[in-house]
Amino acid sequence: MSEQKDIFILAIESSCDETAAAVVKNGREVLSNVISSQIELHKLYGGVVPEIASRKHIEKINQVIEEALSDAKMTLDDIDAIGVTYGPGLVGALLVGVAEAKAIAYAKNLPLVGVHHIEGHILANFIENKELEPPFICLVVSGGHTHLVCVKDYGTYEIIGRTRDDAAGEAFDKVARAIGLGYPGGPKIENLSKEGNPEAIAFPRAKIEGFQYDFSFSGVKSAVLNYINGCQMKGETYVEADIAASFQKAVIDVLAGNAMHAVKEYGLNKFAIAGGVASNGTLREAMREACEENGIEFYHPSPIFCTDNAAMIGVAAYYEYLSGTRHGWDLNAVPNLKLGER
C-alpha cells in the first residue's frame, strides 16, 4: 500500500436510537451520511426503549448501509476498513452494529476497527474544521455524557471533568417531561426558550467543591420540579417558556464557565463542543461569545454531526486505523466502555 493511497472507511453506528452508516474518505471528507432515526417510535413511551431500539436496528441496518454505499457511489470492494461503535451505549443496540460490522469485515476480508462513541462525537469537529489539530479542549454534551476532555493528541484523551449525576441532555429531557413537552426534550426546550425570559427564575448553578471542572445537573432539574410544584400548590400560574429559558441559561452558564476555566488553565487556545446538546443554538452562541471574550478559537460541528451519526465514527475509525488499531472477531459490545480504553 503506497502512502498516498486514499483510505475509505465504511462506518456503522447503532449505540442508541439512530441506525446510521457513512462513508468517510481520509478521515475528514464525508462522502455519505445516512441516519435512520427511531425518535417517532420511542416518543410514544417518553424515552428510548432498549428492546425496541435493538429490533429496529436489525430491521434497518442493511438498508442504511446500502444507502450509504450508493450515496457515496461505491461498493464494498472500494472500502478499506469497517469502523463501528462498540461502546458505550445500549448493549442490545450496540450488538447489532458490531455483529453487522464483523460480518462484512469477515466476508470482504477487511480490517475491523472498533470505535468509542464519545471519541466519535469529539472528532466530528474535524469534518468541517480541516485545520483543527490536537491539542484542544472539548466539551462533550450528549444524552448520556457530560465530559470536559483534553484532546492531547490523536487517540490520547484526558477526561478533566465529568457530571456527578445527570448528563446535560438527560436534564433537558427530564425538564421537558416535567413541563409536558415530550421526548426528546432538548430541541423542544430550545424552541420554547425563544419565547421566554432567561432571567425570570434564578435556578441554581452547581459548583463542586474541589472539583472545578465537574458538573452536577440534578440540582437544577429538582429546582425546576420544585418550582412547578410550588406554583401548583399555591394555585399560581407559571410561564413554561420562562422556566425553559431560565433552566437552559442555568445549564449553559455552568457549561461555559467550567469550559473556559479549563481552556485557560491548560494553556490552550482552542475549544470545541460535541454531542447532541451541542446542536443547541443558544449554547453555541454563548460559547462563541465566551471564546471571543477570552481570545480562544471556537470549533463546533454542524447540528447533523452533533447528534448521533456514523460520519463521526468514520472519522474516529480512520485515526484509529492509522494508529494500527485492529479488532478481532471476538469484538464485543461494551456498554460502559471508558474513553481511551482498547
The site for ligand KG4 (CB under 6 A) is made up of: 16, 142-144, 169-170, 172-173, 184-187, 190, 275-277, 279-280, 307-308
**97, interface contact from Zn ion, ligand KG4, none, CB < 5-8 Å by kind:** none
Q: In terms of CB distance, is 69 or 189 closer to ligand KG4?
A: 189
Told to check if 308 binds Zn ion by CB under 5 A, we report yes
Q: In terms of CB distance, is 89 or 161 closer to Zn ion?
A: 89
In this structure, which amino acid lies at residue 258? N
Q: In terms of CB distance, is 122 or 223 closer to ligand KG4?
A: 122
Q: How far is the CB of 144 from ligand KG4 (least distance, A)?
A: 4
Whole-number Å distance between alpha carbons of 296 and 317:
28
Q: Mask 138-157, x = binds Zn ion (CB under 5 A)?
A: ----x---------------
**114, interface contact from Zn ion, ligand KG4, none, CB < 5-8 Å by kind:** none
Q: How far is the CB of 94 from ligand KG4 (least distance, A)?
A: 12
Q: How many CB atoms lie within 10 A of CB 105?
A: 24
Cα distances (angstroms) measured from residue 169 to each of 89, 220, 251: 15, 13, 10
Q: In terms of CB distance, is 102 or 174 closer to ligand KG4?
A: 174
Q: How far is the CB of 311 from ligand KG4 (least distance, A)?
A: 13
Provide CB contacts within 8 A for 105, sequence distance 6+.
81, 82, 111, 112
Count CA atoms within 13 Å of residue 328 on its CB side.
1
Give the closest residue to 97 by CA, choosing from 321, 315, 322, 309: 309
Give the closest residue to 144 by CA, choosing from 173, 183, 115: 173
Dihedrals phi, psi of 292, to nearest 5 degrees: -60, -45
Q: How far is the CB of 172 from ligand KG4 (least distance, A)?
A: 4
Binding site for Zn ion (CB under 5 A): 142, 308
